[in-house]
Every structure is written in C-alpha cells, then in structure tokens.
Structure 1
Amino acid sequence: MDLRQSTVFKLHRATTLVTRVSDEYLTAHHGIHYAPFLVLLTLRIAGPSPQRAIAQGLDVSRASVTQRVHQLREQGLVSVSINAADPRANVVDLTLSGRRLTDAAWHGLERTLNAVDDGVDDGLLRHQLERLITNCTTALSLVTTTDQRPE
C-alpha cells in the first residue's frame, strides 16, 4: 500500500496543513505564532492555570509551556504568579492585552478555518477523531507496558 494513501498519513498531513494555515493567519494578522496562541486560548477558556495543567491540556512538555509562557510574559500577554496551593508551581493568567489579542485573533482564525472545513461532515469527523484518540491512547499504554518488560 502507498503510505500516502494511509489514514494516519492523511491525518498527519491534514493536521500539519491546519497548523500551517493557523500559524500563517495569526502571524500575518496578529503577530503571534500558533503554538503560543494555543497557550493564550487555553487560558481564555480555562482561566488562570498552573503551567502543568496547560502542558497537559495541550499535550506538550512542561518545558515547552515554560518557554512559551516566558515569551508571552515578555510580550505583556500573560502574568505569572506563585501558586498559593503549591509554592513550587506557577499560575499563569491572561493580562488585559492577552485577552484582547486572544479574542480578536480567535474570531479571525475561526473565520479562516471555516474555509478549511468547508464540506466536511463535522459530526462524523469529530466522532472518528475521538475513535483515533482512543486508539492512540490504548496503543501508547501498550507500548509503555511493553517497553517496561525486562529482557
């Protein structure tokens, strides 16, 4: 079978292109890349959050979130404070500038992405993606279990 015809390859290609469309729109119109914007969007939805929770929500490393938060803080888009419940952890929140940017960028990005999913059965795709996510989670747990067996 031609790899380019496999479902997983097509999913990867679609994801890469959606990320690229998002990144190009956001940098051209709002001066921010997609990866740090996802941190802002996470905070806009969830409210003030520990960096660990942001990393888990985005399924990225804590180091990656730390780097993005540092950049966003320097730009005045987020504030960082010590977590009262755990003094070793930081809580990140949007500043007023961060909220304004997130809201403006999201509305424009949503319009741009509406063209991307034109003609797609959203309900069916969402259902199939949930199935793929479940399958990946299962596969990851099997790989982790298999990798930990003594030789």
Structure 2
Amino acid sequence: IYLSPADSVPYHTTGDLTVVIRARLHIAASIYQTMFGFRDGDYGANYQWWGFYGSTLHYWQGGQLQFAVGTVGRLKEWCVYVFVRESNKHRVYRDGVQIGAESAAIPVPSSTVEGVCIGGRPNADWSYADFSQVALYHTALNAAQVEALTSVLKP
C-alpha cells in the first residue's frame, strides 16, 4: 500500500502516531522490507520506518538504525501489529503483547517526505505481506487501548 501526500493528508510525520496492521508477513532477508514508513525519495535517507531484516524488526530513521526488536516470529501467520510513537518513545505490539520499546532522541523527519508505504519497499514496488486491516491514529494508544483493539481484530 502506498499513499502519496495528496492521498494521505493529514498524516503526521512528527508527533504522536499509532499504526495498526493486521497482516500475514512474507519475509526474506532484505532490509528494504518495510512494514510502515515515510520516505523522501531516497533509500539512503528513509525517514521513520519499521522494517524487517530476516525475522528481526528494525526501526530506522534518517538512514540509521535506531533500535531493533529481537525475533518477531509468527511469520506467514495472521497477526495484529501495532506501532506506537509517543513523543520520543516507541512501542511495538504483536497480538496485543508488547514485544519492544525504546526511548531515544530520534531526529524529526524532514519536511520533504513524499508519502507513506505499508507492507512493501519504500518505493512501493514490491509487497511483503497480505493485509486485511490497516488503521492510522493521530494519537498514541496506551497498552489497554492496544489490547482492546487487538482483541477485536485478532483472527
């Protein structure tokens, strides 16, 4: 799924954000397998994206790895993934259970962001997942909200 700025306005490249994706992921070893991201037209300068490398979930920004969440597991199975950004705190959930978190002074994305990509490379030319639901919230959901939402979406 790729949303251009015209399609996805107003999505936030800064501030609080929650991304909810019910997906069955098909993963091989490539750092450009993007679960969710904003791009500025250059792979080397991807801003704000969650990608898989093998079976490890990575959070990249500005072309640099900010943190990684160990083995994600459950590949090729339907799961509900929730990515929460609250100020400089980042949390990752799978099926309502938090599987990673990080607090870091991560740089703000540039103002030249071109669009949003979900489930493919940053240029949206390949897909790496099957999707049944995708939702963007312009707020940071708390753990109880994530759990409640996941219970509705779980297969």
Q: TM-score range by the shorter chain?
A: under 0.3
In terms of Rg, which structure is larger? 1
| Normalised TM-score (structure 2) | 0.23
| Normalised TM-score (structure 1) | 0.24
Structure number having the greater helix percentage: 1
Q: Relative contact order: is structure 1 or structure 2 higher (C-alpha 8 Å, sep ≥ 6)? A: 2
